[in-house]
Amino acid sequence: MLDLTVIPATDTRLPAEPFRGRHLIGGTWVEGAETFGRRSPSHGVVVSHSALGTAADAEAAIAAARRAFDAGDWSRAPAKSRAEVLTRVAALIEANVDRIALLETLETGKPISQSKGEVSGAADLWRYAAALARTLHGESHNTLGTDILGVVVKEPIGVVSIITPWNFPFWILSQKLPFALAAGCTCVIKPSEMTPSTTVMLGELLVEAGMPAGVVNIVLGYGLPVGATLASHPDVDMVTFTGSTGVGKGITAAASGTLKKVALELGGKNPQIVFPDADLDSAADAVTFGIYFNAGECCNSGSRIILHEDIAADFTARVVALSRKVAFGDPLHPDTQVGAIVTPQHRDKIDAYVKAASAAGATVALGGTALQVPGLAGEFYQPTVVTGVTPDMAVAREEVFGPVLSVLTFRTADEAVALANDATYGLSAGVWSENVHTCLDLARRIQAGTIWTNTWMDGFPELTFGGFKQSGTGREIGSYGLEEFLEVKTLCMRIGRSRANWVRA
């Protein structure tokens, strides 16, 4: 019998029939000539049928967004009006948390408690974006001469394509959409084909909140042809994408033909560095949370820890002991902390990384194989800790995107920084030490967009998010997240008739 905490299937009743997802184009719900289904990775039943989008659907949605933007009813509306709609959306999200979270759990495999937290938390992103809408301002220059006034204004960039991933479909959309709308943009959204339904549910709330027709459009389907059309179409002014680094590079290439703006939030291989003087109990708990949160299917996953040699054995033992207590199993049970892996193919990919590390000389201290949950035929993977990892191993360098923790060691602070920066990614990192000078020194030297000290994955709407290196370009949430969707325009205005003629009479 496994020495793990496993929660078997509950008797929770599944929805009577699959959710039916349609496109939202120009304010109208549109059926697809064909549909595609999503099978729950935890329960093995089809939980949604969605319209299968075509290039023509994507083009129609882009045209609707273009008309809405150019008409100006939203793009040139007073910020107060836009903020009022966003605030109504936030209230509607909160009123529908349970309904949205259930489908989020069934399509992603994540625990229902986590889905509820993400959906309710997303409402705060909408409220914060509403507040930012009313703070938009440029600057004036009144010192250019008595006859010149310079004004710099900020305007919405235009039509924005939003392409979202499967791991946090509702949350990540809420990191993008309300900020684009606050800026005055119009949007076309393509959610992942594996988790389309909660985006459609949000579309229903947008209509209910009074969003003008064509301001937000949704096209369901696959990267080819829908995503490719949204990335390359000349009437799209910007693409914002969250997902893998490989797909992000493809989107950048597709967008290059029109030189549209591209914002990318991509992968991570995020280190947590633990010094001997750290609060080891708190650090071990945070490391355990950081690797198993969302089954490790998270760009911010703390997938590698860099431990001082003096504490490496003891700290690893603490994490292994805590890992055995983490509740894996039925995501519909309120006590479950880690649910299913999104697809069988992804589970096999995770397993391949672990087996390759073992073959290269690493030690699997815990887990390293699929997990059978009583009563469920879904895709689960055991909590896994791999020790004896060297920096050249794929498990130490590549994004596994699963509940697999790689353990490396260091002797000096310089060596720890070098290990942390020895990656193509630079999304986030953590430093654990009771010495504030150590924390600040490493925080300034590590190449990552977010540095946590003595914590992991705390986040707030006010604090912007994004990566260095191949973890992406641009920023989300915070005031910088709003700036992404704005163009800057300079007005140079001469006062009176003071300009001397260039052509002399």
pLDDT tens column, 264-312 = 999 999 999 999 999 999 999 999 999 999 999 999 999 999 999 999 9
Q: Does pLDDT of 1 surpass 90?
A: no
Give CA–CA dist 155/119, Å, rounded.
30
DSSP 295: G
Sheet holding 384-387, edge to edge: 363-366, 384-387, 404-410, 304-308, 271-274, 428-432, 450-453
Q: What phi, psi does 433 have (nearest 5°)?
A: -165, 145
- Entry pTM: 0.97
Q: What is the pLDDT of residue 90?
A: 98
Give CA–CA dist 209/198, Å, rounded.
16
Give CA–CA dist 32/50, Å, rounded.
8
Q: Is 299 one of the catalytic residues?
A: yes
Give CA–CA dist 275/73, Å, rounded.
56
**pLDDT band at 73, cuts 50/70/90?**
very high
Q: Does pLDDT of 246 surpass 60?
A: yes
pLDDT digits (tens, 9 = 90+) for 118-134: 999 999 999 999 999 99
Q: What phi, psi does 397 have (nearest 5°)?
A: -120, -30
pLDDT digits (tens, 9 = 90+) for 400-454: 999 999 999 999 999 999 999 999 999 999 999 999 999 999 999 999 999 999 9
Q: What is the pLDDT of residue 497?
A: 84
Catalytic one of 104, 118, 265, 399:
265
> What is the residue-averaged pLDDT of the chain?
97
pLDDT digits (tens, 9 = 90+) for 197-232: 999 999 999 999 999 999 999 999 999 999 999 999
Question: What are the residue ranges of helices labelled H in 109-244?
Answer: 112-133, 169-183, 197-209, 228-232
Give CA–CA dist 465/451, Å, rounded.
11
Percent of the chain scored above 70 by pLDDT?
100
Based on the number of CB atoms within 10 Å of its own CB, is 138 exposed (0-12), middle (13-18) or buried (19 or more)?
middle
Q: What is the pLDDT of residue 360?
A: 97
Strand partners of residue 149: 493
Sheet holding 148-156, edge to edge: 139-141, 148-156, 486-494
**pLDDT band at 7, cuts 50/70/90?**
very high
Give CA–CA dist 396/492, Å, rounded.
53
Say if residues 302 and 310 touch (Cβ distance below 8 Å): no
**pLDDT band at 487, cuts 50/70/90?**
very high
Give CA–CA dist 114/484, Å, rounded.
28
Q: What domains are defined for the chain?
A: 19-266+471-489 (3.40.605.10), 271-453 (3.40.309.10)
Q: Look up tokens 């680094």; give the residue.
A: 245
Q: What phi, psi does 355 have (nearest 5°)?
A: -65, -40
Q: What is the pLDDT of residue 500?
A: 85
140 in helix, strand or coil?
strand
CB atoms within 10 A of CB 173: 23
CB contact set of 446 (below 8 Å; sequence gap of 6+):
271, 417, 420, 421, 429, 431
Catalytic one of 187, 299, 379, 476:
299
Q: Look up tokens 């590390």; give the residue.
A: 357
Q: Is 84 one of the catalytic residues?
A: no
Q: What phi, psi does 504 have (nearest 5°)?
A: -85, 140
CB atoms within 10 A of CB 293: 22
